[in-house]
């Protein structure tokens, strides 16, 4: 099973792309890094002092993400997945049964922290979603107002910080020679990506025969 890493700034279409690919490639497994936020006392306290704490790796359960990835590669039947309630700032988890029978199966790791989990990114398929800053902000504003109960001033402050942090750490942590950059909503770019992934899937199936 190959791992697809989908990262990009907030509002760039990461979730949209991961949803499209998981439908196209049967039984693919999606791990969303923003489902793994911590809800302990330290993070709650830091969130008062640092409005951008949720844009930093300190705020996520990195070890739990890596544990889920290892379990999937070991083909464990029951995998523990997390969800995060942004309004209540509450984390929960449950075990889900996984089907490993799909021929075109990928593990899709998606989120602004997907490129900062200390994986071997030389062996993963690395995708960076790109979109204009203005459009990304509009998407972030719509999502945060609807799902997270934030007003426009709070969203604007968080968005500017997260945008700068993402691109600063992208240069530092991600291999530039091993990236596919695209706008997920551009049909031509999406079609080219699908062809690449289909070829990879075919090669993997041939190796496993």
Torsion from C-alpha of 150, 154, 157, 162, nearest 10 degrees: -20
Domains of the chain: 2-191 (3.40.50.300)
Closest by CA to 51, choosing from 144, 168, 170, 169, is 144
pLDDT, one tens digit per residue, over 74-125 is 999 999 999 998 888 889 999 999 988 766 689 999 999 999 998 888 889 9
Identify the residue with better confidence: 148 or 118.
118
Band (pLDDT 50/70/90 cuts) for residue 52 is low
Beta strands in the chain (DSSP E): 2-7, 29-32, 78-85, 90-97, 106-110, 125-129, 180-182
More confident residue, 182 or 173: 182
pLDDT at 51 over 70: no
Q: How much is the pTM?
A: 0.89
- Separation of alpha carbons 160 and 202, rounded Å: 41
């Amino acid at each position: 099973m190959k791992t697809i890493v989908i990262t990009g700034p907030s509002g760039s279409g990461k979730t949209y792309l991961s949803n499209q690919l998981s439908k196209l490639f049967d039984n693919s497994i999606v791990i969303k890094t923003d489902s793994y936020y911590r809800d302990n006392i330290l993070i709650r306290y830091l969130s008062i002092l640092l409005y951008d704490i949720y844009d930093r790796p300190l705020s996520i359960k990195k070890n739990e993400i890596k544990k889920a990835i290892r379990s999937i590669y070991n083909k464990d039947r029951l995998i523990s997945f997390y969800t995060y309630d942004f309004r209540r700032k509450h984390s929960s988890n449950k075990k889900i049964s996984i089907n490993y029978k799909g021929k075109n199966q990928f593990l899709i790791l998606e989120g602004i922290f997907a490129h900062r989990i200390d994986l071997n990114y030389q062996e993963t398929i690395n995708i960076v979603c790109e979109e204009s800053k203005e459009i990304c902000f509009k998407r972030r504003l719509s999502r945060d107002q609807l799902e997270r109960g934030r007003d426009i001033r709070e969203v604007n402050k968080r968005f500017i910080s997260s945008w700068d942090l993402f691109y600063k750490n992208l240069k530092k942590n991600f291999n530039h020679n091993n990236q596919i950059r695209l706008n997920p909503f551009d049909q031509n770019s999406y079609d080219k990506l699908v062809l690449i992934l289909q070829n990879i899937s075919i090669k993997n199936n041939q190796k496993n025969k």
